[in-house]
A and B are shown apart, each in its own frame.
Chain A
């Protein structure tokens, strides 16, 4: 199988790795680069657990060819925390917005993209922003509340 070199920026750091022909970005990030934050849920683009940001826009890494990120910026949930966890992660913790936690990296990235574009979203906008992400534990309400906490300055102010 042909291998292709890919250079890109992952969570602000320059990366170079080889991708196999036809390899999806999720597999490339996890097996090729070692970033285990994006999760394999369905492999069909239905669950959003694999959501990463490409140039700031949420994408499904399971449906993205790895080689298409050449020269682009990729952000995953691994890059959210600095010395301490980010306000969004703190809000997820405070609101018990993660139970099994499998959807959480995808939810965090969908919410990150929303808040970057629209720092004061209303509830409908939050619901729309996470409509491509499935959670089977929380019933969504704690997740929505956590994102609104950040938007309305109740966390990380």
Chain B
């Protein structure tokens, strides 16, 4: 079997075509590897719909077309809160190609941008229409084909409310040992509606539920941070890969969570 590439001007046409089977190609940074080594075969679908590259401000945040690249994010002053995340994804060449939508489906240990969006409570807009769905749902069910039109990203309440940290062995560009994102809105000094997420700590980016439970309703003081760090790896079974063993990821995640929370305190 060979590869056939179909390019559709409108995303809606690509969505209709996908119903007949095939794989959607965004920036190609993940999928082209498979095309090159022959592991990806069959029908590849693309779309050149300009809406995929659009960044729109909405009432409480931004809507990013699924084809917005990491370089596009870095070029947008409105998206400054996401710059520390986009900046640590690949080198300049990868950032010019890798898309926000593609990052949601990038296999372990990739997906640092998805980790940040998960902490921010992002919602995804299906290309086939219908209501936006929480990103949490998509990340739990990535094996099923999803074609996305856009991602709705709430703006953090203030710059201090959102933090991101990536741990990699190679500087300045390296694959994640792990990444952590935290959205910690404060209400009268207490943390409310806390969301903390991990990248590379499971098969897909996931919420750090035990950490969220420790932080919710508390002030971000040293005692709370210490308790959060203690439960950082609770219930997790991170994968082992050439970057790190699962054991090492479990051992160090608390240390890095503590550093991130101290920075945000």
Contact = CB atoms under 8 A, between A and B. Distances in A.
Interface stretch (B86-94, B122-130, B191-199): B86-94
A64 B32 contact: yes
Contacts of B12: none
Nearest to B3: A22
Contact of B36 (A44, A67, A68, A128): A44
Interface string B55-77: 00000000000000001000000
B14 to A, nearest CB: 15
Interface in A87-117: 110, 113
Nearest to B33: A44
Nearest to A128: B172
B93 A48 contact: yes
Interface string A35-75: 00000000111001001001001111011110110000000
B220 to A, nearest CB: 31
B19 interface: no
Contact of B92 (A2, A64, A67, A110): A110
Contacts, number: 80
Contacts of B32: 24, 45, 62-65
Main secondary structure of the interface of B (DSSP, over half): mixed
Contacts of B260: none
Interface residues of A, number: 30
Nearest to B36: A43
Contacts of A59: 93, 96-97
B138 interface: no
Interface in B1-19: 2-5, 7
B256 to A, nearest CB: 22
16 contacts: A22-B2, A24-B36, A44-B36, A45-B29, A48-B91, A57-B96, A58-B96, A59-B96, A63-B97, A65-B5, A65-B32, A65-B46, A67-B5, A67-B7, A129-B92, A132-B93
Q: Which 6 A-B residue pairs are closest in the complex by CB-CB distance?
A: A132-B91, A22-B3, A63-B32, A131-B173, A131-B91, A132-B93
Given A21-B3, A132-B91, A132-B94, 20 more contacts: A21-B4, A24-B36, A45-B33, A45-B93, A54-B96, A58-B92, A58-B93, A58-B96, A60-B97, A63-B28, A63-B33, A64-B97, A65-B25, A67-B7, A128-B92, A128-B172, A129-B92, A130-B91, A131-B173, A133-B91
